[in-house]
Structure 1
Amino acid sequence: MSDTAQARYTFLPYVRRGLSAVLEGSAAAGRLKLPVQLKLSGTGGEDVVDVPLRLHGPGDVIGIDPAEVIRTEPRRETADFDPNYFPAVEFDSPDFPWMFTPEAPDGGLLRPWLCLVVVRDHTPNSLSADQTRPLPVLECALRELPDLAEAHAWAHAQIMRESPAEEPPEAASAAIREAIAGRPDRNLSRLLCPRRLTPNTAYIACVVPTFEAGRLAGLGMAPDAESLDGLTPAWPTPSGSARTLVTLPVYHHWRFSTGAGAESFETLVRRLERQNHLPGVGGLRLNVGDAGWSLPNVPGAEVPLEGALIPPQQAGTAFRWPPPELEGFRTALRALLNATATGGEAVVAPPIYGQQHAGRGVTPEPGQNPLWLGELNLDPRYRVAAGLGALVIRARQEAHGGSVGPGRGGRARQPVAPSGPDGA
């Protein structure tokens, strides 16, 4: 690999090679049609005759070369596979999952002719061999099978190639085609099984057909016209309550078991237990009945100071403060905050948080804009949060190259003793 190139993986939704890559026609009798015309000439003149050819379809397959399977995940007879992962099987040919699909791509998607299913290794599921049938047979519950309408989403091709750091899309497409044709050692295809596995459970993984024609052929039966012409899926959409059993031929299979599961994020989250009633968790009571600063003295007046996390069924708390007394407190607090700007003399008062952003030197009257400036400064709960934010700014102002604070004139102001209405 050159110094200016880098290894790059490309994942493709499907790959087709040969004649199937250029055909755009529909299927006939379960096979992709290849339009061919012959020109006949003789003493009587010339005539054009249509002689359509058909490529092999899933109904023509009764087995696959074992050498085509190059890797399974997990390996055969693994006893402690992590249940958080999806089982997978990899094939040597990048186009193998779509090689016998009897239809053309639709919207950049193409249904594979086979898929990977994983079922629990116990009754009613069973895997058996019958000398009268060309392939081993899986009999399993329909509810354990994936939805074939989504089969295209669980199959892809993987291409590994060298590419420059900056590569135009047209050059990338040409390089990918060249890698598929010229570097077979770097290409593969993969099927995944979208099943959520259960810890400490035995499973059977099987590669099976997705078309009914392929299912019948694999069972040693002749595909009927309905399954061929209609491209019928090998099984209907699974239902969680269905008790139906499905019989499928198996091109490749292996057994494995899951372990208890690693300490992943999912396993840790599953250990959490819901607690609805946690007294004292999620908030504090803020006593503002004796705030000082000549503010109204209302014994027992409290406001709830909620935290970021509260119990799920904890009801929202409100002011324990009659509205007239609350409005009297806010009116007195507004006068105190505005004293420096309106009193004509120097007064040491609590800061007006956000005044630099609002471009206002006073806290606005009720209903005046900006409304948020009044809500922030006249609600003791919000003043506590703003005061904590001011402490963080002051603690880190030197690291950011300037004196930044909530005080007037842009100077950092030392917080007032906690006897004030908000402790800052």
Structure 2
Amino acid sequence: MSGIVSGHVTSPRGVRAAGGHCGIKPSRPDLALVVTAAPAAAAACFTTNRVQAAPVLVSREQVRGGRAQAVVINSGNANACTGEQGRRDAWEMVDLVARALGISRALVLVASTGVIGVPLPRERLRSGIPALAASLGPHGEQAAEAILTTDAFPKTGAVQIEIGGHAVTLGGMAKGAGMIHPRMATTLSLVTTDAAVDPPLLQRALRFAVGRSFNRISVDGDTSTNDTIFLLATGAAGAALLRSPEDPGFAEFQDALVALTQHLAHQIVRDGEGATKVIAVTVSGAASDEDARRAGEAITTSPLVKTAAYGMEPNWGRILAAVGRSGAEVDPARVAVSVGGVHLVEGGVGHGERMPAAAQAMRAPEFAIDVDLGLGMGSWSGWTCDLTEAYVRLNSGSMT
């Protein structure tokens, strides 16, 4: 498999996009449209937050058919907690896209991101969506810019593989910097591919990839009302249709999808609100994979661990405390902890003389925390960032 390359949602064959400003935000781009040349196989994962935005409810219904041809995304307004009017507004976005493109409304997916509880400015979308439909092209970068909120930069990438002698491309974009703790969803993300994949298998592949990428990141422990990832497969590469996990080429496709979603997820952590560090957390030696996940998530969501990372203080006691409260089986006498490759705890006993070396390792923009529970074969890995004063400033006045 080829590695990550520079690319966008328009890198695969048969995909066009546009992005621009329609007036939801004061000045920055706030509306994106991605369209395939013909109806594509479609899959999606959504937030597990019980409070779900109108576009999530609408797209859940739309994607059940397993086909889609257009995705419209607005930023600056989440259209969440907006009641029945919000639901009607999301459906109106669907209808505006369908009319502008001359396609069935059943083929349109919708997503929104931004401030919760504010009605959508419908009149701006009524002019903005037709304008974008008229300017579609190889404009994946424009679309990636238009879905951002507090992000510092767009998150994009592509992967190229070969299936049956045919070059196949996957391209993606994502947004997210705060309210990041997905739990079987993601932030807002769209992945496109010119592979041909049967919709049920496409859904399986997406869930597997999300479980190893977006579901393993945390910026602040909060799960959004709007988390959504879409995956569209156009089949334009000409490769044979993948119907079963045993089909030649599916393993390569799955690996490429995992690599791309991990790339996008890593960028989200790197752009965590106020973040200065990316921390890769690995738990091994757990009694089960589920125990490893519990311990890992306790570390990645611990404010004390994250603030210590910001201060470049290798406070391994905070790491052990997080593991101990996680619900995972733990024998303190068997635990080992490394920070930045420096072994600070072995057999449950700390090595204070190694703290300066670990503190030096934590000065790097990215470093690792490794925990071995010494009990079994269970393992888990994920990513988080530090917690800084800038995060507090950004989130203490987001509605003003």
* Greater strand proportion: 2
TM-score by length of 2: 0.22
TM-score by length of 1: 0.21
* Greater helix proportion: 2
